[in-house]
Structure 1
């Protein structure tokens, strides 16, 4: 990039940087974003296909979850990365609908490119898209239906259909509803913090079960500890059961074997007193974030206590919520009121694959789902499906609003937005109509992935909606348009509204870009000399003779 002053060039940018401007920059971004949308489009709907993603190490992920696919793809293009952000936002806010959001954003950009070729300015298009999104959200509110707990199974079934969870659909539907309801607190459902999903090797997906408590992927600290404790009184520590190190640097001078023996006996006594205090508090099960040394292990076994060491922070938090225990920072500071309760704490498993079950907790605020599968890839995909289903069930518990599924809302929105466009003057009208066309790409994608004729499908759906049948959608299993509400194919209102918001924001941001300044990729940033391995605290190391 350079300017001219009295015939002399003025260099503004580094020659290593490349610059793309105007319509070329817009096409550059739209093409990249559309490529991402096309990559996940074939996963849309109950008949969508899966993707296999293999990393450089050879590990693979098999999934049709849009957010997971985009997260695993090594995307370099900046505009394409915005599409990944759409999926991440959609997943965080609503729990499902990631593929629909990305497909809609890609199609909005594709329609915008056509309008730009007709000399409609990008800022006019973004204004039109913003008007259309506001109107679409208003229409969705009108289409929303008040929901009760009776529809929760239909919500879960809609989310799980077409995924690996199809292998045991009905049991998993009931499991999702039961699990989400069990952690409802103050009208809110926190899936991430309150539901623990664990894989267990062996069995089949049908064996997947709900645990009224917590399952931890750990084993007992020592094989001589009891394998099972009934009427468990649980102490949770964030400190180790071991000989404490001094906080300051200190030395102990030992001049004889007797002194060494005495020092070790003193250390052993200190740990014994701590374990004795634990036992006196009434605790018979101990979970700790830190370690347990050999001395601590000896006295715990001697007292017949059940202990688990090096628990993760999230496991400790879930244990607290499930058992009602309090985290204590001093081993000898545990009181009876700090203890949690459970009917049973037991180690189960075969060979090296063992887990700790904490069951029969009284009104637990954290619970577990144990997925059985002979293949780890299947278990991982079922976990993703269950996570989506739990999140959307939680959406309905919190918002109490649903809409029909099967592409029904998108067709109704498209029809009403076209009517709305005729009330606008100026070129924004074209953008609102383009927005309506983009919305129809979602039912088109569902039909296409099911092997149905997309034109006939859209025409039939338009006809039904023009007759006032607002809940008519596509049943991919029969290939016909049917009443989605009557079939129980429903989705949370939150998922649909977030799709509109995420896709519109991303499309508008990309459309406003008319200049791309891109630096040459070097692989790593320049490092100052004082930050290299040859310098330490600003001092160069001494030179050594190579001879």
Structure 2
């Protein structure tokens, strides 16, 4: 049936989906998380892309600690031990630029006759990467005029140790080898856009986050990008004491996200089977025929509409 799409209806749809897979208390908690996640990524005039909801899991604490982060959680941290673990008022540069020396695709050989020539060859190889790093550092100094501002580089390609050391000395936090999907999510969550070259960098390409910090859990590192303005991407951070609990919650959340997405796009909802039976039972003449035809024992096993709560038909599902 056609319905008026509002938050209350979406809550009922998500609740119907989650209650089929999780305990009632946990399902109620995740209902608002699922609805808010879909509403966050919804953009007027565009199809809802559930890939913009990052589902991140951590074997930590209990399932009740699962939460929605209107930002992004990356499953890795900075690769230099001297980089800051917490920054406020961060400018975020999203780039797909190689900051490491790469071998040529063609087979080639270079020969030298003395140690001095070899040193010159090494410096020439490093100069190519160093010039790119220096451009990023100069761009950071032109943008971050306030000492309280931070600067974060999230790169899809690699960053070698020498480049990481230069960035660390300039007060820049750098993350390398980010997932391609996370590059899309970062642009939607923080603003700005991904760049493929460090030439002619402009402030418009930068995103912004109120805080960026790193969390260490055992041998794993997680980077949180939070306090973003008007995000169109988010992260559902699932926590649990064991892998089975996390997998169960993850499966339920995915189903809930699809149910809410389908309801928004279709503009219709299908009541539960019990609701349809109750609606038919309340039609004119049905109650009289039932009382006349059903034996007393059958009426006792199948109570009529009067025996159900008034809001029994309000639970909707797909």
TM-score with structure 1 setting the length: 0.49
Structure 2 counterpart of 1:16: none
Q: Residue 256 and residue 399 in structure 1: after superposition, are their counterparts in 2 closer, same or farther (change >3 A)?
A: same
Is the 2:275–2:313 Cα contact (8 Å) retained in structure 1?
no
Task: Work out the CA distance in 2 between the residues paired with 1:401 and 1:246.
Answer: 57
Is 2:147 the partner of 1:280? Answer: no
Structure 2 counterpart of 1:204: 62
Instruction: Specify which of 95, 98, 105 is matched with residue 240 of structure 1.
Output: 98
Is 2:287 the partner of 1:490? Answer: no
Task: Work out the CA distance in 2 between the residues paired with 1:378 and 1:289.
Answer: 31
Instruction: Specify which of 249, 261, 264 is matched with residue 397 of structure 1.
Output: 264
Task: Work out the CA distance in 2 between the residues paired with 1:386 and 1:372.
Answer: 12
Is the 1:188–1:397 Cα contact (8 Å) retained in structure 2?
no
* C-alpha deviation, 1:408, in angstroms: 4.1
Is the 2:41–2:52 Cα contact (8 Å) retained in structure 1?
yes
Q: Residue 212 and residue 189 in structure 1: after superposition, are their counterparts in 2 closer, same or farther (change >3 A)?
A: farther
Structure 2 counterpart of 1:368: 235
Task: Work out the CA distance in 1 between the residues paired with 2:234 and 2:32.
Answer: 15
Structure 2 counterpart of 1:358: 225
* C-alpha deviation, 1:488, in angstroms: 2.9
Q: Per chain length, whose mean CA-contact separation is higher, i.e. which structure has more relative contact order (CA < 8 Å, sep 6+)?
A: 2
Task: Work out the CA distance in 2 between the residues paired with 1:479 and 1:320.
Answer: 56
Instruction: Specify which of 172, 183, 199 is matched with residue 30 of structure 2.
Output: 172
More helix by share: 1
Task: Work out the CA distance in 2 between the residues paired with 1:379 and 1:166.
Answer: 16
5+ residue gaps in structure 1? 1-142, 412-459, 470-477, 496-547
* C-alpha deviation, 1:303, in angstroms: 1.5
Query: What are the within-5 Å matches in structure 2 for residues 136-535 of structure 1?
Result: 143-164=1-22, 166-186=24-44, 190-246=48-104, 248-282=106-140, 284-409=151-276, 482=308, 486=312, 488-491=314-317, 495=318
* CA displacement 1:347-389 (0-9 Å, x = unmatched): 1122312211111111111111101101112111211111111
TM-score with structure 2 setting the length: 0.82
5+ residue gaps in structure 2? 144-150, 288-300
- Structure label with greater radius of gyration: 1
Instruction: State the superposition RMSD in angstroms.
Output: 2.8
Task: Work out the CA distance in 2 between the residues paired with 1:165 and 1:324.
Answer: 37
Aligned length: 293
Tell me, what secondary structure is at the counterpart of 1:329?
Answer: coil
Q: Residue 166 and residue 347 in structure 1: after superposition, are their counterparts in 2 closer, same or farther (change >3 A)?
A: same
Task: Work out the CA distance in 2 between the residues paired with 1:184 and 1:325.
Answer: 18
Is the 1:146–1:402 Cα contact (8 Å) retained in structure 2?
no
* C-alpha deviation, 1:277, in angstroms: 0.8
* C-alpha deviation, 1:484, in angstroms: 8.6
